[in-house]
Amino acid sequence: MPSRILVISTNRERAPQPTVPLGAAWVAESLLQAGFQVRLLDLCFARDALLATQNAIAAFAPDGIAISVRNLDNCNFLAPKSYLPEVRLLVDFIKSRSDARILVGGSGVSIMPQQVLDFLELDHAVVGEGEHAAPLFFRAEGAEHAGRVAGVVRRSKAGVVEAGGGAASAGPFITPRLHRWVETRRYLALEPVLPIQGKRGCTHRCLYCTYRSIEGDSWRVREPGAVVDEILSAMRNTRAREFEFVDSIFNEPEGYLEILLDEILRRGIKARFSVSSLSPKGLTRDQLELMARAGVASAVITPESAAGATLAALGKGFDEGEVHRAAELVSSSRLRALWCFLMGGPSEDETTLGKTVVFLNRYLSDKDHAFLTTGIRIYPGTGLHDVALRDGLVETGDDLLMPAFYFSPQLTPQQARTLLDRGISSPSRCINLLDTQAPVIGALRRIGTAVGLPTPYWRYTRFAKGMSRTR
């Protein structure tokens, strides 16, 4: 039975900012608690990923290796880039240096495990949560038994992925203890915020979304006291005083937001918070006021469109009236909002996109910004895949491992760009994916952290754009 497990976080993308490997740390902590000797190799800041891996294998001599793949690609319709060729080089290198049992996982793998296993030429992947599946996989006697662990899928000789022991167990939450596994100071030097996850899963069926494949189709809420304990532990062991709730939707299920923030207030936590996903649906003034009292300073709000036809086509579960109502509440609150929109979804045309432009001009206050994404990444098993097949944008045999995108046949990207450029009255407060790749953005983050500029750093986008134009 393997006793030494090396966990490798393969994500090396640093734009718009490097992402702390929370999932890999969670798996590493679960393996440690299961009795294994564990090391986590985070390749994000490694100058030479292969050399860092070689040194870790030589020093630790692992019996098992858990490889975490966060994203398959950058989801950028305008400049697509797959991360998998680099991961394939790493996997081939690992196999040339070690006979350790290998398990690959992470959110990217959970979306399409068969395609990833085939591309990487690996035998076993964990789908969904890895904290409970990984210890069982590495504890199993022999590869045959390892492949029967719940949550693990295996690639047969015929190249077909077979489910081992069914769906992954959703057992009790553990605390990931990021400071034990990750060199947090490297991340905090670029943005002084650490991630916190208070719950997992999602009950919605948005047309394009993969959360249900990654985290499950029901809400799983952590005990609020445990979440606050994790925040306090991070404050004691790192320089972090700001935290981002990375839950799929922070204001669902009903009552969750209130219970968690009430606990933060009850415990007297002196920290600053942000939210990575807030839904317009059901948002109330009382919730926004509670967020302000608890220290929540900013949130990413994800309507994806301000047009009823597009919202219905995307399966968002709310209409444009709800988006407008939420915007009125947010604009009159202390919360800084980054509104996210997907350009070119099903049923998108000049009329629906025009409604989003009107929304931006009317509701985007001086303290708020918008993030505009052109095209939507198509993943198998989603409703968007079915629509793309219907519209002839992909073929039945396409494995979709390399980036493939949906853009409405009723509109061209150039038409959309022209409408946005001519219609938006405050373009300096609108961000697109290409903006996030600009070198000045990274420099702004480093300078902002060094001098203590208030977060979120997207609030300074207009200044960064101005600096880019003068270079």
pLDDT at 160: 53
> DSSP string covering 406-450, please?
E--TTS-HHHHHHHHHHH-S-GGGEEEHHHHT-HHHHHHHHHHHH
For residue range 139-160, what is the model confidence (pLDDT) as tens digits? 999 888 998 999 999 987 665 5
User: What CA–CA distance (Å, rounded) separates 339 from 326?
Assistant: 11
Give percent of the chain with pLDDT exceeding 70: 93
Tell me if the pTM is above 0.85. Answer: yes
Q: Do domains 4-163 and 192-437 have the same CATH topology?
A: no
Q: Does the structure show a pLDDT above 80 at 368?
A: yes
For residue range 83-132, what is the model confidence (pLDDT) as tens digits? 999 999 999 999 999 999 999 999 999 999 999 999 999 999 999 999 99
pLDDT at 445: 72
Do 174 and 27 form a contact (C-beta atoms < 8 A)? no
User: What CA–CA distance (Å, rounded) separates 70 from 58?
Assistant: 25
For residue range 39-93, what is the model confidence (pLDDT) as tens digits? 999 999 999 999 999 999 999 999 999 999 999 999 999 899 999 999 999 999 9
Residue carrying the six token digits 């990833």: 116
Structure tokens at 108: 């990217």
Q: Which CATH class is domain 192-437?
A: alpha beta
Paired sense of beta strands 405-406 and 376-377, if any: antiparallel
For residue range 243-293, what is the model confidence (pLDDT) as tens digits? 999 999 999 999 999 999 999 999 999 999 999 999 999 999 999 999 999
For residue range 161-185, what is the model confidence (pLDDT) as tens digits? 556 555 555 678 999 999 999 999 9
- Taking every pair of Cα atoms in the chain, the longest distance, rounded to a whole number of angstroms, is 64
pLDDT at 198: 96
Which distant-in-sequence residues (6+ apart) come within 8 Å of 418 by Cβ? none
Q: Which CATH fold topology does 4-163 show?
A: Rossmann fold (3.40.50)
β strands within 10-87, DSSP E? 37-42, 64-68
Q: Does the structure show a pLDDT above 90 at 429?
A: no
For residue range 196-213, what is the model confidence (pLDDT) as tens digits? 999 999 999 999 999 988
pLDDT at 458: 79
For residue range 217-237, what is the model confidence (pLDDT) as tens digits? 999 999 999 999 999 999 999
Residue carrying the six token digits 């985007």: 364
Extents of the domains making up the chain = 4-163, 192-437
